[in-house]
Amino acid sequence: MKGKNVWVASFAAVVMIAIVLLLAGSSSVTANDQSSAATSEVKIDNFSFGPQTLTVPVGATVTWTNRDDIPHTSVSTDGVFKSKVMDTNETFSYTFAKAGTYPYYCSIHPKMTGQVVVK
């Protein structure tokens, strides 16, 4: 009977941990998820966009922030959005109204690329 009680107590502990993790996950976003209900940020640093692929829900606003010491832009390859040239610590924001994949690049440094996936 003692073995059964230990098993029940262990099972209950695992269930409680699972519930706590589920509740914690419902109010926050993990780094692996890379999405947010309202706003998300792409940092421009060391000649790269980070994260290179960002997944957001329809209606999310994405803000690009230039953390580099030199100017950069964020320009949609499909002409959907186009920032002005951003100096250090300047930002550009765009709100995505439709689902889809939106590739973009820096018009000053075309090898710098990224994409926003809107679901």
pLDDT of 31-67, one tens digit each? 334 444 467 999 999 999 999 999 999 999 999 999 9
Domain ranges (residues) in the chain? 1-30, 39-118
Q: So what's the architecture of 39-118 in CATH? A: Sandwich (2.60)
DSSP letters, 5-62, are HHHHHHHHHHHHHHHHHHHHHHSS--TTT---SSEEEEEEETTEEESSEEEE-TT-EE
Taking the C-alpha atoms of residue 83 and residue 85, their distance in angstroms, rounded to an integer, is: 6
pLDDT tens for each residue of 12-34: 444 444 444 444 443 333 333 44
CA distances from 105 to 38, 57, 108 (A): 23, 21, 9
